């Protein structure tokens, strides 16, 4: 049996103690440091934090993203969480990097809290460079900047580390997301009959179809076209359109076509 680990995730900003010292105080076993592929100014802080953590025998894994945007941060954070053992406790440092890191950390904490033990935390620094008097700021920049490629850390010291309370977030079921991804493939919309055929051929949906049809007291023992339309409308389309507002349905001639809307596109971008 594997020993549960304390796993930390942090987007690297222009900071050191708020990242590595906080992880050490929380007795981290493994730390994921997220940074840009090409970031001349920020890379020195990635290297410094990595050096400090490894000196204390902490496993460090670098994760590199193309840009500091919400989609990229969410994607890499979700991958880390999904790949970690369910027995491990995952801590997400939401204080370093940017506001986007905080948003991503909180979203992931709430999205996966039912499957994994995830704790977002905030590190309050003792001193902030932008709150320092101008004359002192110049001295700090000159002295500290020499060690960090000309850019000093924007904070120093740790005053407190606080866990952030989260609540489970309601999300569309996996089955709904599978259908939403299929709908997304057809930019001009997909017919309901095509979605019915998809539901019969996709292995991930097979058990869902069987379960919902078994529990549907209105389901006829004879498989008719009408019953298939009733099933997909009740179990998929109504939920995607009315409950989640992720699709639109429009009539063209005698047929109805389903299209993903902007909210649906964003939902897939953030969740899948």
Does the pLDDT at position 222 exceed 70?
A: no
So what's the pLDDT on residue 217?
46
Q: Quick one: CA dihedral 265, 118, 128, 45, positive or negative?
A: negative
Does the pLDDT at position 250 exceed 80?
A: yes
Average pLDDT over residues 59-74: 93
Architecture of domain 6-163: 3-Layer(aba) Sandwich (3.40)
Looking only at the bridges linking them, the beta strands covering 255-260 and 155-163 are unpaired
Average pLDDT over residues 108-130: 89
Q: How far apart are CA 90 and CA 8, in angstroms?
A: 6
So what's the pLDDT on residue 94?
96
So what's the pLDDT on residue 204?
84
State in Å, rounded, how far the first CA of the chain is from the last one. 31
Q: How far apart are CA 94 and CA 113, in angstroms?
A: 16
Across the chain, what does the average pLDDT equal? 88
Q: What does CATH list as the number for 174-271?
A: 1.10.10
pTM of the predicted structure, to 2 decimals: 0.78
Q: For 127, what's the count of Cα atoms within 13 Å in the CB-facing half-sphere?
A: 11
pLDDT above 70 coverage of the chain, percent = 87
The region of weakest confidence among 63-72, 94-103, 206-215 is 206-215
The domain spans of the chain are: 6-163, 174-271
So what's the pLDDT on residue 135?
53
Residue 221 pLDDT grade (very low, low, confident, very high; cuts 50, 70, 90)? very low
Q: Which two tokens stand for residue 261?
A: 């809307």
Residue 99 or residue 169, greater confidence: 99
174-271 has the same fold as 6-163: no
């Amino acid at each position: 049996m594997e020993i549960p680990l304390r796993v930390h995730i942090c987007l690297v900003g222009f900071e050191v103690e708020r990242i590595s010292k906080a992880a050490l105080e929380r007795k981290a076993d493994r730390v994921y440091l997220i940074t840009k592929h090409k970031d001349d100014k920020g890379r020195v802080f990635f290297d410094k934090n990595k050096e400090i953590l490894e000196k204390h025998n902490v496993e460090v894994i670098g994760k590199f993203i193309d840009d500091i945007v919400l989609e990229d941060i969410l994607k890499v954070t979700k991958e880390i969480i999904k790949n970690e053992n369910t027995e491990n406790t995952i801590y997400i440092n939401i204080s370093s990097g940017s506001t986007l890191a905080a948003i991503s950390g909180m979203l992931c904490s709430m999205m996966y809290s039912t499957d994994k033990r995830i704790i977002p935390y905030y590190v309050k620094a003792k001193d902030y460079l932008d709150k320092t008097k101008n004359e002192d700021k110049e001295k700090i920049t000159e002295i500290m900047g020499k060690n960090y490629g000309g850019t000093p850390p924007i904070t120093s010291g740790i005053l407190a580390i606080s866990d952030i309370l989260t609540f489970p977030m309601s999300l569309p079921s996996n089955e709904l997301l599978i259908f939403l991804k299929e709908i997304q493939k057809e930019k001009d919309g997909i017919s309901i009959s095509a979605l019915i055929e998809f539901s019969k051929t996709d292995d991930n949906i097979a058990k869902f179809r069987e379960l919902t049809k078994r529990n549907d007291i209105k389901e006829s023992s004879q498989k008719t076209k009408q019953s298939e339309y009733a099933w997909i409308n009740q179990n998929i389309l109504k939920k995607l359109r009315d409950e989640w507002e992720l699709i639109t349905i429009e009539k063209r001639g005698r047929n109805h076509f389903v299209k993903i809307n902007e909210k649906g596109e964003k939902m897939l971008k953030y969740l899948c």
